[in-house]
Chain A
Amino acid sequence: MKKLFPILLTTLALISCEKEADIDRLDNEYMVFTNHDTNAQFNDCNTFYLPDSILIIGDKKDPEYWKDEKARTLIDTFVSQMNASGYTRTSEKGNADLGLQISYITSTYYFQEYYNDGPWWGYYPGYWYPGYWGGNWGGGWYYPYSIVYRYSTGALLADMVNLKHAPEGQKEKLTVVWNAYISGLTGSGNSLNLNRTITAIDQAFTQSPYLKKTSEN
């Protein structure tokens, strides 16, 4: 029986030998996750407002905004897709039925170091706050669906709010009716791969067919 003990020990050791998935086989391209409020009336909206800059979520305490040519290209891609969906861009926030805010994550410093018990982007200094859209939504943001809670660097976040159907008040929350998490956008040298990012933004709209203003309204 003494001979069996090493075998039994080996058995126990090997039980933990699950063969991990070969993630090197993955294509290392973009990943797009979208979700939406199934009660949202996308068809009842006509106009949208999109700021002319992208918020950088980094490791600095002061907010940074991305406005260079690459940023404009990405914003134009969102605008083109919204136009193709039947919505018209307006330069006045007060006239907008929908609001679209875009952020780019360069660091998860604030998530990892300070805020790990809630929606970290809600605490990021300079992050979009409900009041940015001009109304009184004292209750903050509201996502009526599951969202990705573990973000990575090199990712775009797009949040769409319905300003037309958003009751205001000290306890009211501004509902994010559409959310897109677009990741895997960096190439060599950790720099943004612009073509891949444009393709991924297009994909976010392709997989959100409900985001459409049909002609009969």
Chain B
Amino acid sequence: MKTIKYLIFQMMAVSAIIITFAIPAKAQITPFTYFNADWQFNAPISNDFANKASGWGMNFEGGYYVLPDLAIGAFINYHTNHQYIPRQTLPVNNSAALTTDQQHSVFQLPFGLATRYRFNDGVFQPYIGMKLGANYTKMSSDFYIYEATDNTWGLYVSPEIGINIYPWTNGIGLHLAAFYNYSTNKGNVLNYDIDKLNNWGLRVGVAF
């Protein structure tokens, strides 16, 4: 009896999977739009100020397919990277010096235009994309009870490859992406000069 129940369960499970992947293409909420909400992993490149990779970020993006496979939309994401700086003596300017340890942080908030070209409009929609916009970045050093901060703005560009997967009929899917970004932000915190930001990272989230 248990074997029959198990077989029935197996058949139901397999049927569910077959039905799921047999759904029509363009399973997103509307066939001409997409929306992604992602958890984000970000790793700074050539950054001596706050160089530790972290998962403290998210990405939000939406677009409209102006051509069958070419979408234009908007994005906003944010991320924070940190770095602990052991105790040292810093020349703050030509007359001052500071001895302390520090926690450095770089908080990035880029936003702007997103473009995307998909290679398939079915269940699996691999794509390449490009984001262009502005990047607000707060660079800061926390030490003792103080914080030194520089708020900066820069131009932002970010190529990306990824895939949207729509395995279910309710319009919700999965999103995976890898990206690189570059921005022209320049900042100065204590005796640290930060000139331009480079990062690479991964995104995992939901697609609509």
Given contacts A21-B103, A27-B101, A152-B145, contact A4 B208 (CB under 8 A): yes
Given contacts A3-B29, A7-B35, A27-B87, contact A18 B96 (CB under 8 A): no
Min Cβ gap B136→A in Å is 10
Do residues B97 and A207 form an inter-chain contact, with CB atoms below 8 A? yes
Which chain B residues border A32 with CB–CB below 8 Å?
97-100
Do residues B208 and A146 form an inter-chain contact, with CB atoms below 8 A? no
Do residues A19 and B56 form an inter-chain contact, with CB atoms below 8 A? yes
Binds B, one of A35-43, A65-73, A119-127, A157-165: A35-43
Measured CB to CB, the nearest residue on chain B to A204 is B99
Residue from the list A7, A18, A203 in contact with B99, Cβ < 8 A: A203
Do residues B96 and A35 form an inter-chain contact, with CB atoms below 8 A? yes
Which chain A residues border B138 with CB–CB below 8 Å?
18
Measured CB to CB, the nearest residue on chain A to B78 is A15
Residue B3 interfacial (CB < 8 Å): no
B residues neighboring A (CB under 8 Å): 29, 35, 37, 54, 56, 58, 60, 62, 76, 78, 80, 82, 84, 87, 89, 92-105, 107, 109, 138, 140, 142-146, 171, 208
Can you list 23 A-B contacts (CB < 8 A)?
A7-B37, A17-B78, A18-B78, A18-B107, A19-B56, A21-B104, A23-B103, A26-B102, A26-B143, A27-B87, A31-B99, A32-B99, A33-B96, A33-B98, A34-B96, A34-B97, A38-B94, A38-B95, A145-B95, A145-B96, A150-B146, A203-B99, A207-B99
